[in-house]
Amino acid sequence: MNRDLRNQPHLEVIDGVPMTHRPLIGVTMGREKSQRFFGLNLFIMNQTYVRTLEQLGALPVMIPLHMTEATLRGTFERLDGLFLPGGEDIDPANYGTGRHELLGATDKERDRTELLLTRWAVERGMPVLGVCRGVQMINVACGGTLTQDLHSERPELVKHDYFPPSFERFRISHPIDIEADSR
């Protein structure tokens, strides 16, 4: 941890663990235009991710997409880990290729935010966990490229998305192996 707040008796203890000992995990947010709230632009996050991080003992810190690089860096310096959730496609300009005709929506501001955070985290050796788009972002931030439309370019691969709706949202697509010494 990069903070020493142990002598703060007013801070809460949850499940026997003082809040001061819980790692701060940055969680990048998505955005959408609200249909319910008069078309307002909202930052959004899947509550399941936030609740899971909290249940695992972390303090999730929501990171909006509009921050200047200096403000984003200041936020990053306080974090102990980074969580990159799923979302829209990553703009192929970030990995030096043209746009495939079947590529979905992209968000340049989210790409910028997550690329900066991920590169800083890798430089520092900070733990990073990505889900779906998040795994792709880690790959791109480390110099990798992406297949933009798996269905048309690599039809032999396992279907990973949940479209059409006949697939359950949280179904398991395939097993994974986690190396014992990984962080």
Where are the domains positioned within the chain?
13-149
Rounded to the nearest angstrom, the gap between the alpha carbon of residue 85 and the centroid of all alpha carbons in its chain is 3
Mean pLDDT to the nearest integer, 142-153: 90
4-52 pLDDT, tens digit per residue, is 444 444 456 656 656 668 999 999 999 888 888 888 888 889 999 999 9
- Tens of pLDDT, residue by residue over 71-120, are 999 999 999 999 999 999 999 999 999 999 999 999 999 999 999 999 99
Tell me the fold of 13-149.
Rossmann fold (3.40.50)
